[in-house]
Amino acid sequence: MAKKILVAALVAAGMLSSAVAQAQEGSFMVRVRAVDVQFENGQNDGLPGPIEAESRWIPEIDLSYFFTKNIAAELVLTYPQTVDITMAGANIGKIKALPPSLLVQYHFTDLGAFKPYVGLGVNYTLFFSRDNILNGAASVDRSSVGLAGQVGFDYMFNKNWGLNVDVKYIQMETDVTLNGAKIGTLDLSPITAGVGVSYRF
């Protein structure tokens, strides 16, 4: 009987320690960044060109949840951003884009305060004010879905605060219509480079 109680106690202790370890690994991190967005502006068949989206700086915030010390999921958010559209260098209108991304990350944890990571996921961009091009004669699609990849690192000053540097490539394209007829596809696919602060809790 005593042996059974001892075995049960050891099993319970093991389960408890496992739960504690999982709780420690399952922590959150918030990052706030200033991000430079450089649009690819690839011209596909049919577009009179060059039609381009102008690059710009935007604010960005993300929330990461660590399932283990190495594996995390990251949700990247910003508010709808105004993007200037140009043709041959002249402004022909504006659109608004809301581009949240969800990525799965792998974090390298054996380098002390320097914690690099890689990530892969999906971006879903919603376009607003889509018909504000050429005084309403031209417009773009409502949304875009594409892959998103990232590399970056956190340099932790202590257990909570750190410096973050992050680079992403996002697949993003939208059809362009003129007077209701599709005339081509604009490949935006930006590369984003951001720097900011990390807070882990």
pLDDT tens figures, 12-45: 334 334 444 444 544 999 999 999 999 998 776 5
Q: What percent of the chain has pLDDT above 70? A: 84
The CA distance from 40 to 51, in Å, is 11
pLDDT in tens, 151-162: 999 999 999 999
pLDDT in tens, 108-126: 999 999 999 999 999 999 9
Buried b (16+ CB within 10 A) or exposed e, 64-76: bebeeeeebebeb
pTM assigned to the model = 0.82
State which fold the 26-200 domain adopts.
Porin (2.40.160)
What is the average pLDDT score of the chain? Answer: 86
Residue type, 182: K
pLDDT confidence tier of residue 186, bands split at 50, 70 and 90 = confident
